[in-house]
Amino acid sequence: MKNYLRLLAYIKPYKKRLAAAVVCIIMAAGANLYLPWIIKDMIDDVLMSKDMLMLNLIAAGILVVMFTRGVFYYGQSYLVSYVGQRVIIDVRSMLFRKFQKMPLSYYDRQQTGTVMSYITNDVSAMQSAIVDNLIELVTESSILIGSLAMMIYLDWKLSLLTLMTIPLVGFAMKIFGRKLKRSSTVIQERAAEITSLLQESISAIRVVKSFVRETYEIKRFEEQNWRNFQAAMKNVKLSSLLTPTVEFLAAIAVTFIVWFGGYEVVNEVITAGELVAFLTYAVNLANPVKRLSRVYAAIQRAMAAADRVFAVMDLEEKITDVPGAKPLPPIKGQVEFKDITFSYKEGQPALQHISLKAEPGQMIALVGPSGSGKSTIANLIPRFYDVDSGTISIDGHDIRQVTADSLREQIGLVPQETMLFSTTVMENIRYGRLDATDEEVVEAARAANAEEFIKDLPEGYDTKLGERGLNLSGGQRQRLAIARAILKNPRVLILDEATSALDTESEKIVQDALDKLMVGRTSFVIAHRLSTIFNADQIFVVENGHLREHGTHEELLAAGGLYSNLYNIQFRQNEAM
């Protein structure tokens, strides 16, 4: 209930439209409630007295009532749907904003498909609670209350007999409701698992085909799909059982009405018309109860989704600006690590007692075996993660004391896996600085050695790239990433194995572009190929989360330590090739 009230709080900006919708709902319900009264008058005043004038008036009245009902029904449907759709848009947008603010540590633990499922499956499930069920909830509640009031007005003793079954209905709905919510939570989890599996399988389609694993993937999907079916059918059994249970309890009430009401007509306590009207109102009372049981089941399904969504909304963002954080002023590019210790998981340090210093404009190389902590060091500079202990400063400013946005605006990143968006080449480069002119974008592409291949594309800079830019070669994608970084013009640059996945020819072109990019900037280069960092001002050798040695290329070779071993292994391999 807490999260349902929380969901309804999103309606507040649209309260005027919702108020108008409620008026329409009440008026439409009122029109429905007037029909049994017309039938009562027809039986008691027309059929008994054979008054044709009254018959004509009643017939005209029915037309007026039905037309009025139709007008108000349109109003309620449109207005509630408008409010519901806007609320869902707001929830989806807020959830997306939440995901944008979550730290990388959250995505380290989550599958992409699960994150997608929150915004698609769960928010869509919530939509029914807002749109369809809200209309039915208010409509049927209005009819129920109105019918009950008319029944009491017609015969309060008969009404008391009818109301005896309501506690039983409430008890049944409470029992079923708890089970339905648990079942619905499982359904949403299964849907998230299917989305994750689908996303994973499609993203890895080249690997799937290269290992001839299509049949294996189909089997995996079908097994997951079957688990989803089983969860759905358990929910269907519960919701299907709820409606006939409520209907049977309502039938008990109708039985009381027919017997006791008939007794009162025979004894002239009430008229035949009043009994028919009472029965009609009783049916009107039973139908909302039956429909509300379905609405209740649907709301339980929707609230299972809402619980998942709000659980994400309530997560701590962790990487947040401290109170009083100030924007980082324009920097020269001095970066210093002082006794840094960092863990991805508590009790399992990924880095221990790291201290290093880069002066403005220096090229700093980070080398070491795979998994040694090189990328982790680089990820701490833009504060993608917070350290356990120690201090990272830029130009003497502790990066935890400045706003994260102002810090990252002055840091550029060229990763090994270039992320391009499904838009034009121009817009992909402009992502580095959104207010850049077309001329500035072209200049950045030229500096990144990208203009030549861009001109050969079907529509040049206006060519729309496919998902992740997979219609380009690795070298072409990397040059667009470099152009993006050039356009951003950062003072601190991070190159995370930017050429390790390229062939020799592409590497030469990209390395030339990187050399231009690094001029005048403090650059942290994570190197796989040691040949790319011979001219680094300082080389830091990382092993098992510790800095083992540092110096220039010549100094480290002369020392005969880990760097020298890595160099000898790599260049022996090159000679063998």
C-alpha distances (whole Å) from 490 to each of 322, 328, 385, 399, 473 are 24, 13, 20, 16, 26
Cα–chain-centroid distance for residue 516?
40
Per-residue model confidence (pLDDT) at position 505: 67
Which pLDDT value is given to residue 159? 79
Give the pair of three-digit tokens for residue 138.
């208010």
Can you point out the beta strands (E) in 415-566?
A: 492-496, 522-526, 538-543, 546-551
547 beta partners = 542
Residue 477 contacts by C-beta under 8 Å, 6 or more apart in sequence?
Answer: 418, 420, 469
**Dihedral sign from CA coordinates of 474, 480, 485, 486:** positive
pLDDT of amino acid 340: 96
**CA distances for 503 relative to 497, 526, 571, angstroms:** 13, 18, 17
Ordered per-residue pLDDT tens for the chain, 577 residues: 677 778 778 888 888 988 898 888 888 888 878 878 887 777 777 776 677 777 788 788 888 888 888 899 888 888 888 888 888 888 888 888 888 888 888 888 887 778 888 888 888 878 766 666 777 777 777 788 888 888 888 888 887 877 777 777 777 777 877 787 788 788 878 887 888 787 777 666 666 765 667 788 888 888 888 888 888 888 888 878 877 887 787 777 777 777 887 778 788 778 888 888 888 887 777 667 667 766 777 777 777 788 888 888 888 877 888 999 999 999 999 999 999 999 998 889 999 999 999 999 999 999 998 889 999 999 999 999 999 999 999 999 999 999 999 999 999 988 877 888 888 999 989 989 999 999 999 999 988 888 888 999 999 999 988 766 767 888 888 889 889 888 999 999 998 876 665 666 667 787 888 888 888 899 999 987 888 889 899 999 999 999 999 999 999 999 988 999 988 887 765 544 4
Structure tokens at 19: 């108020």
Taking the CB of residue 114, how many other CB atoms lie within 10 A of it? Answer: 16
For residue 172, the number of C-alpha atoms closer than 13 Å in the C-beta half-sphere is: 22
Question: 3-class DSSP state for residue 390?
Answer: strand
How far apart CA 327 and CA 410 sit, in angstroms, is 11
Q: Can you read off the two tokens belonging to residue 40? A: 């009562």
Burial zone of 139 (CB within 10 Å; 0-12 exposed, 13-18 middle, 19+ buried) = buried
Query: Contact at 8 Å (CB) between 339 and 390?
Result: yes
The residue count of the chain comes to 577
Q: Radius of gyration over alpha carbons of the chain, in Å?
A: 35
Q: Are strands 522-526 and 538-543 parallel, antiparallel or unpaired?
A: unpaired
Provide the 10 A C-beta neighbour count for residue 574: 11
Residue 534 in contact with residue 525, Cβ under 8 Å?
no
Query: What per-residue confidence (pLDDT) applies to 576?
Result: 47
Element spanning 343, H or E: strand 335-345
Quote the CA–CA distance of 192 and 112 in Å, as a whole number: 10
DSSP-derived pairing of the beta strands 492-496 and 335-345 = unpaired
Least Cα distance to 314 among 98, 7, 8, 1 occurs for 98
| CB burial string 470-492: b at 16+ within 10 A, e below | eebebbbbbbbbbbbbbbbebbb
Could you tell me the pTM of the whole model? Answer: 0.73
Query: Which helix (H) or strand (E) element contains residue 394?
Result: strand 389-394
